[in-house]
Structure 1
């Protein structure tokens, strides 16, 4: 079996995972803030784009650090947000559905964002 060139590799990887885990509440807060702006100001371009970006940030990184289910759910919601951005005529009708799903994600993530199964 080959030995690692960097004997501290696993410790460094664990430290990166811990750092990401410590930042998850802030990532979820960014999603929550964007959702609130969409709810209170209306799901206009600026507000919906902020939500899309917040979801994208988690979707793109979560699985790398052991939060695969969180990443998958954020990716799914990111795609829904992108659809609304691409189809502005449907935003007002579809926003309540997306907002409810974002709320379910936030409640789930508040309990255990590293869980391997999402339940709304």
Structure 2
């Protein structure tokens, strides 16, 4: 039996979604650890770049796999981080405020239930 291209696509998409869901706790822990390693009194550019990369990747993947609120939160944190890193001097209080938002984001991400994933679109699957 020959399967249609669309059915194969949805099978691969479902598998990718499951991989994202299963890997999300580790991704959030990694993001939280990167935030914990960030020193607001002496911010290292490479740490800020690591956080920016993690947030950027998470934002895109989360939206792709149906985690809209998680993706929007990651994008907002990424954009604020870009603003902070655009300045030569940023106060420690500003960094602390951003890190607090990051901590809250990670905590909420770890406790929020996974959203249903496009169930109507998968009606093509056998």
Aligned to 2:61: 61
Q: What is aligned with 2:85?
A: 85
Q: Indicate the residue corresponding to 2:18 in structure 1.
A: 18
Greater RCO, CA 8 A, separation 6+: 2
Equivalences for residues 1-120 of structure 1 within 5 A: 5-39=5-39, 42-112=42-112, 114=114
Bigger Cα displacement from structure 2, 22-31 vs 32-41: 32-41
- Relative to structure 1, the CA distance from residue 114 to residue 45 in structure 2 (aligned partners, 3 Å threshold; closer, same or farther) is same
TM-score by length of structure 1 reads 0.81
Partner of 2:120: none
Q: TM-score scaled by structure 2?
A: 0.78
What runs of 5+ residues in structure 1 fail to find an aligned partner?
A: none
CA RMSD of aligned residues (A): 2.4
Q: What residue ranges of structure 2 are gaps of 5+ in the alignment? A: 117-126
**Residues matched between the structures, number:** 114
